[in-house]
Structure 1
Amino acid sequence: MTDALIIGGGSGMGLALARTLLAEHMDVTIVGRSADRLAAARAELETAAEGRVGTVRADIGREEDVAGLFDRVGPVEHVVVTAADVTGAYGPSTGVASSAARAVLDTKLLGAWLVGKHAAGRVTGSITYTSGINAYRPNGSNTIVAAANGALTSLASGLAVELAPVRVNVVSPGWVDTPVWDQIGMDKQAAFTDMAGRLPAGRIGTVDDIAQAFLSVLRNGFVTGTVLHVDGGHRLV
Protein backbone atom coordinates (compact mmCIF):
# COMPACT_ATOMS: atom_id res chain seq x y z
CA MET A 1 0.00 0.00 0.00
CA THR A 2 1.13 3.54 -0.76
CA ASP A 3 1.14 5.70 2.36
CA ALA A 4 0.51 8.99 0.56
CA LEU A 5 -0.31 10.06 -2.98
CA ILE A 6 0.39 13.76 -3.60
CA ILE A 7 -1.19 15.12 -6.77
CA GLY A 8 0.74 18.25 -7.62
CA GLY A 9 3.77 17.00 -5.70
CA GLY A 10 6.38 18.12 -8.20
CA SER A 11 6.75 21.63 -6.80
CA GLY A 12 5.64 24.13 -4.17
CA MET A 13 3.40 22.97 -1.35
CA GLY A 14 3.10 19.44 -2.70
CA LEU A 15 6.86 18.98 -2.86
CA ALA A 16 7.27 20.37 0.66
CA LEU A 17 4.63 17.93 1.88
CA ALA A 18 6.46 15.06 0.19
CA ARG A 19 9.65 16.02 2.05
CA THR A 20 7.72 16.18 5.32
CA LEU A 21 6.06 12.79 4.88
CA LEU A 22 9.28 11.11 3.80
CA ALA A 23 10.90 12.40 7.00
CA GLU A 24 8.09 10.55 8.79
CA HIS A 25 9.27 7.34 7.05
CA MET A 26 6.21 7.21 4.82
CA ASP A 27 6.20 5.86 1.26
CA VAL A 28 5.13 8.66 -1.07
CA THR A 29 4.09 8.86 -4.72
CA ILE A 30 4.06 12.28 -6.35
CA VAL A 31 1.90 13.00 -9.38
CA GLY A 32 2.08 15.78 -11.95
CA ARG A 33 1.75 16.69 -15.62
CA SER A 34 5.43 17.40 -16.31
CA ALA A 35 7.77 14.42 -16.57
CA ASP A 36 10.80 16.71 -16.25
CA ARG A 37 9.48 18.36 -13.09
CA LEU A 38 8.64 14.99 -11.56
CA ALA A 39 12.11 13.66 -12.34
CA ALA A 40 13.76 16.70 -10.77
CA ALA A 41 11.55 16.44 -7.69
CA ARG A 42 12.27 12.75 -7.28
CA ALA A 43 16.02 13.33 -7.55
CA GLU A 44 15.79 16.03 -4.86
CA LEU A 45 13.65 13.94 -2.54
CA GLU A 46 15.74 10.79 -2.84
CA THR A 47 18.85 12.55 -1.55
CA ALA A 48 17.43 12.65 1.97
CA ALA A 49 14.43 10.30 1.83
CA GLU A 50 13.63 8.04 4.76
CA GLY A 51 10.73 6.45 2.88
CA ARG A 52 10.30 5.41 -0.75
CA VAL A 53 9.53 7.89 -3.52
CA GLY A 54 7.53 7.09 -6.66
CA THR A 55 6.29 9.25 -9.51
CA VAL A 56 3.35 9.05 -11.90
CA ARG A 57 2.68 11.42 -14.77
CA ALA A 58 -1.03 12.30 -14.94
CA ASP A 59 -3.35 15.24 -15.58
CA ILE A 60 -6.23 15.27 -13.10
CA GLY A 61 -8.31 17.27 -15.55
CA ARG A 62 -8.52 14.09 -17.67
CA GLU A 63 -10.69 11.30 -16.31
CA GLU A 64 -8.74 8.57 -18.07
CA ASP A 65 -5.57 9.81 -16.36
CA VAL A 66 -7.20 9.78 -12.93
CA ALA A 67 -8.67 6.32 -13.42
CA GLY A 68 -5.33 5.03 -14.67
CA LEU A 69 -3.55 6.63 -11.73
CA PHE A 70 -5.54 4.71 -9.14
CA ASP A 71 -5.34 1.50 -11.18
CA ARG A 72 -1.56 1.87 -11.13
CA VAL A 73 -0.96 2.78 -7.49
CA GLY A 74 -3.59 0.46 -6.00
CA PRO A 75 -4.58 0.91 -2.35
CA VAL A 76 -3.43 4.17 -0.77
CA GLU A 77 -3.90 5.52 2.74
CA HIS A 78 -3.89 9.26 2.10
CA VAL A 79 -4.42 11.41 -0.99
CA VAL A 80 -3.53 15.10 -1.06
CA VAL A 81 -4.34 17.33 -4.02
CA THR A 82 -2.32 20.54 -4.44
CA ALA A 83 -2.47 20.73 -8.25
CA ALA A 84 -3.56 24.04 -9.78
CA ASP A 85 -3.46 25.71 -13.19
CA VAL A 86 -4.12 29.43 -12.87
CA THR A 87 -2.33 30.57 -16.02
CA GLY A 88 -4.21 33.52 -17.48
CA ALA A 89 -6.90 33.37 -14.78
CA TYR A 90 -6.02 36.58 -12.94
CA GLY A 91 -7.38 39.99 -13.83
CA PRO A 92 -10.90 41.40 -14.32
CA SER A 93 -13.34 38.77 -15.58
CA THR A 94 -13.84 40.76 -18.77
CA GLY A 95 -10.21 40.09 -19.64
CA VAL A 96 -10.01 36.41 -18.68
CA ALA A 97 -10.40 33.98 -21.57
CA SER A 98 -13.03 31.29 -21.11
CA SER A 99 -10.36 28.69 -21.89
CA ALA A 100 -8.32 29.90 -18.92
CA ALA A 101 -11.40 29.81 -16.68
CA ARG A 102 -12.18 26.25 -17.79
CA ALA A 103 -8.58 25.22 -17.09
CA VAL A 104 -8.96 26.45 -13.51
CA LEU A 105 -12.18 24.51 -13.04
CA ASP A 106 -10.82 21.40 -14.77
CA THR A 107 -7.94 21.21 -12.32
CA LYS A 108 -9.18 22.74 -9.09
CA LEU A 109 -12.79 21.52 -9.04
CA LEU A 110 -13.61 18.86 -11.62
CA GLY A 111 -10.18 17.31 -11.17
CA ALA A 112 -10.75 17.21 -7.43
CA TRP A 113 -14.13 15.55 -7.98
CA LEU A 114 -12.55 12.98 -10.33
CA VAL A 115 -10.04 12.14 -7.63
CA GLY A 116 -12.88 11.53 -5.19
CA LYS A 117 -14.76 9.46 -7.77
CA HIS A 118 -11.87 7.15 -8.60
CA ALA A 119 -10.43 7.05 -5.09
CA ALA A 120 -13.62 5.39 -3.83
CA GLY A 121 -12.74 1.92 -2.62
CA ARG A 122 -9.00 2.57 -3.08
CA VAL A 123 -8.30 5.11 -0.31
CA THR A 124 -8.42 3.91 3.29
CA GLY A 125 -7.62 7.05 5.30
CA SER A 126 -8.22 10.50 3.90
CA ILE A 127 -8.43 12.86 0.95
CA THR A 128 -7.32 16.46 1.44
CA TYR A 129 -7.82 19.24 -1.09
CA THR A 130 -6.18 22.66 -1.31
CA SER A 131 -8.26 25.81 -1.68
CA GLY A 132 -7.07 29.32 -0.82
CA ILE A 133 -7.71 32.67 0.80
CA ASN A 134 -9.26 34.16 -2.34
CA ALA A 135 -12.37 32.05 -1.66
CA TYR A 136 -12.90 34.25 1.42
CA ARG A 137 -11.15 37.48 0.40
CA PRO A 138 -11.73 37.99 -3.36
CA ASN A 139 -10.06 41.16 -4.61
CA GLY A 140 -11.66 41.72 -7.99
CA SER A 141 -8.86 40.12 -9.98
CA ASN A 142 -9.23 36.47 -9.04
CA THR A 143 -12.94 35.74 -9.36
CA ILE A 144 -12.82 32.40 -11.18
CA VAL A 145 -10.06 31.13 -8.90
CA ALA A 146 -12.07 32.25 -5.86
CA ALA A 147 -15.13 30.43 -7.23
CA ALA A 148 -13.22 27.18 -7.73
CA ASN A 149 -11.64 27.36 -4.29
CA GLY A 150 -14.94 28.16 -2.62
CA ALA A 151 -16.62 25.21 -4.33
CA LEU A 152 -14.05 22.82 -2.85
CA THR A 153 -15.64 23.31 0.56
CA SER A 154 -18.96 21.96 -0.69
CA LEU A 155 -17.25 19.18 -2.61
CA ALA A 156 -15.36 18.04 0.49
CA SER A 157 -18.53 18.15 2.59
CA GLY A 158 -20.38 15.97 0.09
CA LEU A 159 -17.55 13.49 -0.31
CA ALA A 160 -17.02 13.29 3.45
CA VAL A 161 -20.54 11.89 3.70
CA GLU A 162 -20.39 9.82 0.53
CA LEU A 163 -17.00 8.19 1.14
CA ALA A 164 -17.20 7.78 4.93
CA PRO A 165 -15.37 6.51 6.92
CA VAL A 166 -12.70 7.93 4.59
CA ARG A 167 -12.13 11.50 5.80
CA VAL A 168 -12.30 14.38 3.30
CA ASN A 169 -11.00 17.84 4.19
CA VAL A 170 -9.64 21.07 2.74
CA VAL A 171 -6.53 23.03 3.69
CA SER A 172 -6.91 26.70 2.79
CA PRO A 173 -3.60 28.57 2.62
CA GLY A 174 -3.17 32.31 2.63
CA TRP A 175 -0.38 34.00 0.71
CA VAL A 176 2.46 31.49 0.43
CA ASP A 177 5.70 31.87 -1.50
CA THR A 178 5.30 29.21 -4.23
CA PRO A 179 6.00 28.96 -7.98
CA VAL A 180 2.31 29.71 -8.67
CA TRP A 181 3.12 33.41 -8.22
CA ASP A 182 5.29 33.26 -11.33
CA GLN A 183 2.14 32.58 -13.38
CA ILE A 184 0.35 35.71 -12.16
CA GLY A 185 2.59 38.39 -13.67
CA MET A 186 3.04 40.86 -10.81
CA ASP A 187 5.82 42.31 -8.65
CA LYS A 188 5.86 39.43 -6.19
CA GLN A 189 8.29 40.88 -3.68
CA ALA A 190 6.51 44.23 -3.47
CA ALA A 191 3.19 42.46 -3.00
CA PHE A 192 4.66 40.17 -0.33
CA THR A 193 6.11 43.10 1.60
CA ASP A 194 2.78 44.92 1.55
CA MET A 195 0.79 41.86 2.61
CA ALA A 196 3.22 40.88 5.37
CA GLY A 197 2.71 44.31 6.89
CA ARG A 198 -1.06 43.77 7.01
CA LEU A 199 -1.19 40.21 8.32
CA PRO A 200 -1.51 39.52 12.06
CA ALA A 201 1.22 36.88 11.65
CA GLY A 202 3.54 39.58 10.26
CA ARG A 203 4.88 37.50 7.39
CA ILE A 204 4.05 35.57 4.23
CA GLY A 205 3.58 31.83 4.59
CA THR A 206 6.12 29.20 3.60
CA VAL A 207 5.52 25.89 1.90
CA ASP A 208 6.65 24.17 5.10
CA ASP A 209 3.89 25.96 7.06
CA ILE A 210 1.35 24.38 4.72
CA ALA A 211 3.03 20.98 4.77
CA GLN A 212 2.72 20.89 8.56
CA ALA A 213 -0.98 21.78 8.25
CA PHE A 214 -1.55 18.89 5.86
CA LEU A 215 0.29 16.56 8.21
CA SER A 216 -1.96 17.55 11.12
CA VAL A 217 -5.08 16.79 9.05
CA LEU A 218 -3.69 13.44 7.92
CA ARG A 219 -2.89 12.45 11.49
CA ASN A 220 -6.17 13.42 13.16
CA GLY A 221 -8.71 10.67 12.61
CA PHE A 222 -11.61 12.75 13.94
CA VAL A 223 -11.39 15.59 11.42
CA THR A 224 -13.59 15.34 8.35
CA GLY A 225 -15.70 17.70 6.25
CA THR A 226 -13.57 20.56 7.60
CA VAL A 227 -11.61 23.50 6.19
CA LEU A 228 -8.33 24.20 7.98
CA HIS A 229 -7.31 27.84 7.43
CA VAL A 230 -3.56 28.45 7.37
CA ASP A 231 -3.47 32.08 6.31
CA GLY A 232 -1.62 34.09 8.94
CA GLY A 233 -4.88 35.75 9.94
CA HIS A 234 -5.67 37.01 6.46
CA ARG A 235 -9.41 36.40 6.88
CA LEU A 236 -9.38 38.85 9.80
CA VAL A 237 -8.02 41.87 7.94
Structure 2
Amino acid sequence: MTQNEIQVKTGRAVVIGGGSGMGQAIADALLAAGSEVIIVGRSEQRLADAVRELGEGKVTAIAADVGDEQQIARVFESVGEIDHVITTAGDTTGSYGPIKEFDFKAGSGFVETKLIGSMLLAKHAQIVEGGSLIFTSGIAAYRPAAGGAMVAAVNAALEGLARALAIELAPTRVNAVSPGWVRTGIWDKLGWDDKEERLQTMAERLPAGRLGTPEDIAQAVLSLLRNRFITGTVVHVDGGHRLV
Protein backbone atom coordinates (compact mmCIF):
# COMPACT_ATOMS: atom_id res chain seq x y z
CA MET A 1 0.00 0.00 0.00
CA THR A 2 1.43 3.37 -0.98
CA GLN A 3 1.49 6.52 1.12
CA ASN A 4 -1.04 8.14 -1.24
CA GLU A 5 -3.50 5.25 -0.76
CA ILE A 6 -3.14 5.49 3.01
CA GLN A 7 -3.82 9.22 2.85
CA VAL A 8 -7.07 8.67 0.95
CA LYS A 9 -8.23 5.86 3.21
CA THR A 10 -7.74 7.90 6.38
CA GLY A 11 -8.81 11.27 4.98
CA ARG A 12 -11.96 13.31 5.46
CA ALA A 13 -13.93 14.26 2.35
CA VAL A 14 -16.87 16.59 1.68
CA VAL A 15 -19.01 15.74 -1.34
CA ILE A 16 -21.26 18.57 -2.50
CA GLY A 17 -24.22 17.09 -4.34
CA GLY A 18 -23.69 13.81 -2.52
CA GLY A 19 -27.38 13.12 -2.09
CA SER A 20 -27.89 11.55 -5.51
CA GLY A 21 -26.38 10.50 -8.84
CA MET A 22 -22.67 10.97 -9.37
CA GLY A 23 -22.19 12.64 -6.00
CA GLN A 24 -23.69 9.71 -4.14
CA ALA A 25 -21.55 7.26 -6.14
CA ILE A 26 -18.46 9.29 -5.22
CA ALA A 27 -19.45 9.22 -1.55
CA ASP A 28 -19.93 5.45 -1.75
CA ALA A 29 -16.51 4.95 -3.35
CA LEU A 30 -14.86 7.13 -0.71
CA LEU A 31 -16.49 5.13 2.06
CA ALA A 32 -15.22 1.93 0.47
CA ALA A 33 -11.73 3.47 0.43
CA GLY A 34 -11.96 4.12 4.16
CA SER A 35 -12.60 7.85 4.13
CA GLU A 36 -14.77 9.78 6.54
CA VAL A 37 -17.45 11.31 4.33
CA ILE A 38 -19.73 14.33 4.71
CA ILE A 39 -22.38 14.79 2.01
CA VAL A 40 -23.93 18.20 1.39
CA GLY A 41 -27.02 19.05 -0.65
CA ARG A 42 -30.08 21.27 -0.72
CA SER A 43 -32.71 18.55 -0.39
CA GLU A 44 -33.04 17.11 3.11
CA GLN A 45 -35.12 14.24 1.69
CA ARG A 46 -32.46 13.27 -0.84
CA LEU A 47 -29.79 13.45 1.83
CA ALA A 48 -31.85 11.23 4.13
CA ASP A 49 -32.38 8.71 1.32
CA ALA A 50 -28.65 8.76 0.52
CA VAL A 51 -27.71 8.17 4.16
CA ARG A 52 -29.97 5.10 4.24
CA GLU A 53 -28.46 3.76 1.01
CA LEU A 54 -24.87 4.51 1.98
CA GLY A 55 -25.33 3.16 5.48
CA GLU A 56 -26.71 4.70 8.65
CA GLY A 57 -23.87 5.88 10.84
CA LYS A 58 -21.31 5.71 8.03
CA VAL A 59 -21.83 9.16 6.55
CA THR A 60 -22.73 12.62 7.84
CA ALA A 61 -25.26 14.74 5.93
CA ILE A 62 -25.57 18.53 6.00
CA ALA A 63 -28.32 20.45 4.19
CA ALA A 64 -26.95 23.57 2.50
CA ASP A 65 -27.13 25.47 -0.80
CA VAL A 66 -23.71 25.62 -2.45
CA GLY A 67 -24.67 28.92 -4.10
CA ASP A 68 -25.30 30.64 -0.75
CA GLU A 69 -22.07 31.95 0.77
CA GLN A 70 -23.35 32.13 4.33
CA GLN A 71 -24.55 28.54 4.24
CA ILE A 72 -21.28 27.25 2.75
CA ALA A 73 -19.24 29.22 5.27
CA ARG A 74 -21.24 27.59 8.09
CA VAL A 75 -20.71 24.12 6.62
CA PHE A 76 -16.94 24.45 6.69
CA GLU A 77 -16.93 26.13 10.09
CA SER A 78 -18.72 23.06 11.40
CA VAL A 79 -16.58 20.40 9.67
CA GLY A 80 -13.22 22.10 10.22
CA GLU A 81 -10.14 20.94 8.35
CA ILE A 82 -10.80 18.56 5.49
CA ASP A 83 -8.63 16.54 3.13
CA HIS A 84 -10.74 16.61 -0.01
CA VAL A 85 -13.72 18.53 -1.38
CA ILE A 86 -15.56 17.26 -4.45
CA THR A 87 -18.55 18.99 -6.01
CA THR A 88 -21.02 17.62 -8.54
CA ALA A 89 -23.73 20.18 -7.75
CA GLY A 90 -25.46 22.05 -10.55
CA ASP A 91 -29.06 23.23 -10.75
CA THR A 92 -29.96 22.81 -14.42
CA THR A 93 -33.44 24.36 -14.05
CA GLY A 94 -33.90 26.88 -16.85
CA SER A 95 -30.35 26.41 -18.12
CA TYR A 96 -31.32 25.24 -21.62
CA GLY A 97 -32.97 27.36 -24.30
CA PRO A 98 -32.31 29.33 -27.50
CA ILE A 99 -30.12 32.33 -26.74
CA LYS A 100 -32.52 34.74 -28.50
CA GLU A 101 -35.26 33.74 -26.08
CA PHE A 102 -33.16 32.81 -23.06
CA ASP A 103 -34.49 33.76 -19.63
CA PHE A 104 -31.32 34.60 -17.74
CA LYS A 105 -33.13 35.02 -14.44
CA ALA A 106 -34.61 31.52 -14.71
CA GLY A 107 -31.27 30.04 -15.72
CA SER A 108 -29.14 31.87 -13.16
CA GLY A 109 -29.30 28.97 -10.71
CA PHE A 110 -26.91 26.98 -12.88
CA VAL A 111 -24.28 29.71 -12.72
CA GLU A 112 -24.81 30.19 -8.98
CA THR A 113 -24.56 26.52 -8.06
CA LYS A 114 -21.97 25.23 -10.50
CA LEU A 115 -19.60 28.17 -11.06
CA ILE A 116 -20.08 30.60 -8.17
CA GLY A 117 -20.67 27.67 -5.81
CA SER A 118 -17.33 26.16 -6.82
CA MET A 119 -15.61 29.47 -6.11
CA LEU A 120 -17.28 29.63 -2.70
CA LEU A 121 -15.94 26.17 -1.90
CA ALA A 122 -12.45 27.33 -2.79
CA LYS A 123 -12.91 30.38 -0.57
CA HIS A 124 -14.25 28.67 2.54
CA ALA A 125 -13.00 25.06 2.58
CA GLN A 126 -10.15 24.48 5.04
CA ILE A 127 -8.22 21.95 2.96
CA VAL A 128 -5.11 20.50 4.60
CA GLU A 129 -1.72 20.38 2.91
CA GLY A 130 -1.68 17.55 0.39
CA GLY A 131 -5.44 17.76 -0.06
CA SER A 132 -7.48 18.53 -3.13
CA LEU A 133 -10.50 20.27 -4.60
CA ILE A 134 -12.32 18.67 -7.53
CA PHE A 135 -14.95 20.29 -9.77
CA THR A 136 -17.28 18.53 -12.19
CA SER A 137 -17.51 20.13 -15.63
CA GLY A 138 -18.93 18.20 -18.59
CA ILE A 139 -18.92 17.27 -22.25
CA ALA A 140 -20.99 20.34 -23.18
CA ALA A 141 -17.80 22.41 -22.95
CA TYR A 142 -16.51 20.44 -25.97
CA ARG A 143 -19.65 19.21 -27.73
CA PRO A 144 -22.24 21.94 -27.12
CA ALA A 145 -25.80 21.50 -28.30
CA ALA A 146 -28.05 24.14 -29.80
CA GLY A 147 -29.85 25.77 -26.91
CA GLY A 148 -27.10 24.76 -24.52
CA ALA A 149 -24.95 27.90 -24.49
CA MET A 150 -25.34 28.46 -20.75
CA VAL A 151 -24.30 24.91 -19.90
CA ALA A 152 -21.37 24.95 -22.33
CA ALA A 153 -20.11 28.30 -21.04
CA VAL A 154 -20.28 27.34 -17.36
CA ASN A 155 -18.57 23.98 -17.91
CA ALA A 156 -15.77 25.66 -19.86
CA ALA A 157 -15.43 28.33 -17.17
CA LEU A 158 -15.09 25.68 -14.46
CA GLU A 159 -12.09 24.18 -16.22
CA GLY A 160 -10.44 27.60 -16.42
CA LEU A 161 -11.21 28.09 -12.74
CA ALA A 162 -9.49 24.81 -11.87
CA ARG A 163 -6.32 25.88 -13.65
CA ALA A 164 -6.29 29.31 -11.99
CA LEU A 165 -6.91 27.94 -8.50
CA ALA A 166 -4.28 25.22 -8.93
CA ILE A 167 -1.77 28.07 -8.99
CA GLU A 168 -3.41 30.27 -6.38
CA LEU A 169 -4.18 27.57 -3.81
CA ALA A 170 -1.02 25.47 -4.23
CA PRO A 171 -0.01 23.10 -2.72
CA THR A 172 -3.72 22.23 -2.59
CA ARG A 173 -4.40 20.39 -5.83
CA VAL A 174 -7.33 21.59 -7.93
CA ASN A 175 -8.68 19.55 -10.83
CA ALA A 176 -11.86 18.98 -12.82
CA VAL A 177 -13.57 15.79 -13.94
CA SER A 178 -15.50 16.08 -17.20
CA PRO A 179 -18.21 13.43 -17.60
CA GLY A 180 -19.82 12.57 -20.89
CA TRP A 181 -23.26 11.00 -21.20
CA VAL A 182 -23.85 9.25 -17.88
CA ARG A 183 -26.86 7.21 -16.79
CA THR A 184 -28.36 9.27 -13.96
CA GLY A 185 -31.83 10.41 -13.03
CA ILE A 186 -31.48 13.49 -15.23
CA TRP A 187 -32.72 11.54 -18.25
CA ASP A 188 -35.98 10.75 -16.46
CA LYS A 189 -36.73 14.47 -16.20
CA LEU A 190 -36.82 14.90 -19.97
CA GLY A 191 -40.14 13.10 -20.35
CA TRP A 192 -39.02 10.88 -23.24
CA ASP A 193 -41.49 8.07 -23.97
CA ASP A 194 -38.73 6.25 -25.84
CA LYS A 195 -35.98 6.97 -23.31
CA GLU A 196 -34.22 3.60 -23.50
CA GLU A 197 -34.19 3.63 -27.31
CA ARG A 198 -32.69 7.12 -27.34
CA LEU A 199 -30.08 6.23 -24.75
CA GLN A 200 -29.08 3.16 -26.73
CA THR A 201 -28.70 5.28 -29.86
CA MET A 202 -26.51 7.69 -27.91
CA ALA A 203 -24.40 4.83 -26.56
CA GLU A 204 -23.80 3.45 -30.05
CA ARG A 205 -22.30 6.78 -31.13
CA LEU A 206 -19.52 6.52 -28.56
CA PRO A 207 -16.21 4.71 -29.13
CA ALA A 208 -16.71 3.03 -25.74
CA GLY A 209 -20.01 1.58 -27.01
CA ARG A 210 -21.94 2.41 -23.85
CA LEU A 211 -23.04 5.28 -21.66
CA GLY A 212 -21.14 6.07 -18.52
CA THR A 213 -22.23 5.19 -15.00
CA PRO A 214 -21.92 7.23 -11.81
CA GLU A 215 -19.39 4.63 -10.67
CA ASP A 216 -17.18 5.47 -13.67
CA ILE A 217 -17.05 9.07 -12.49
CA ALA A 218 -16.38 8.00 -8.91
CA GLN A 219 -13.37 5.94 -9.95
CA ALA A 220 -11.93 8.92 -11.85
CA VAL A 221 -12.30 11.06 -8.75
CA LEU A 222 -10.51 8.46 -6.61
CA SER A 223 -7.64 8.38 -9.09
CA LEU A 224 -7.19 12.13 -8.70
CA LEU A 225 -7.25 11.89 -4.92
CA ARG A 226 -4.61 9.16 -4.91
CA ASN A 227 -2.17 10.83 -7.29
CA ARG A 228 -0.59 13.83 -5.61
CA PHE A 229 1.26 14.89 -8.78
CA ILE A 230 -1.89 15.84 -10.73
CA THR A 231 -3.16 19.39 -10.49
CA GLY A 232 -4.64 22.03 -12.77
CA THR A 233 -5.95 19.50 -15.25
CA VAL A 234 -9.17 17.99 -16.60
CA VAL A 235 -9.82 14.25 -16.53
CA HIS A 236 -12.24 13.27 -19.30
CA VAL A 237 -14.58 10.39 -18.50
CA ASP A 238 -16.69 10.53 -21.64
CA GLY A 239 -16.33 7.24 -23.49
CA GLY A 240 -14.47 9.04 -26.29
CA HIS A 241 -17.29 11.49 -26.91
CA ARG A 242 -14.88 14.33 -27.78
CA LEU A 243 -13.57 12.25 -30.69
CA VAL A 244 -16.85 11.79 -32.55
- CA distance in structure 1 between the partners assigned to 2:104 and 2:203 by the alignment: 33
- CA distance in structure 1 between the partners assigned to 2:187 and 2:155 by the alignment: 16
Alignment: residue pair count: 233
- Which range moves more in the overlay, 222-231 or 121-130? 121-130
User: How far off is 1:185 after superposition?
Assistant: 4.5
Of 14, 25, 33, the match for 2:23: 14
Q: 1:2·1:75 contact (CA, 8 Å) conserved in 2?
A: no
Q: 1:188-217 deviations in whole A, cap 9, x for unaligned?
A: 423311211110000000111111011101
- CA distance in structure 2 between the partners assigned to 1:114 and 1:123 by the alignment: 17
TM-score normalised by length of structure 2: 0.91
Look up the SS of the partner of 1:77 in the other structure.
strand
User: How far off is 1:141 after superposition?
Assistant: 2.3
| Match status 1:36 vs 2:36 | no
1:1-237 aligned within 5 A: 3-46=12-55, 52-119=58-125, 121-124=126-129, 125-186=131-192, 188-237=195-244
Seq. identity, %? 55
- CA distance in structure 2 between the partners assigned to 1:87 and 1:177 by the alignment: 19
Give RMSD over aligned pairs: 1.6
- CA distance in structure 2 between the partners assigned to 1:141 and 1:195 by the alignment: 18
- CA distance in structure 2 between the partners assigned to 1:202 and 1:192 by the alignment: 11
Q: 1:70·1:122 contact (CA, 8 Å) conserved in 2?
A: no
Gaps spanning 5+ residues in structure 1: where?
A: none
Look up the SS of the partner of 1:10 in the other structure.
coil
Q: 2:127·2:172 contact (CA, 8 Å) conserved in 1?
A: no
TM-score normalised by length of structure 1: 0.93
Look up the SS of the partner of 1:171 in the other structure.
strand
User: How far off is 1:27 after superposition?
Assistant: 0.8
Gaps spanning 5+ residues in structure 2: where?
A: 1-9
- CA distance in structure 2 between the partners assigned to 1:156 and 1:174 by the alignment: 18
User: How far off is 1:184 after superposition?
Assistant: 4.1
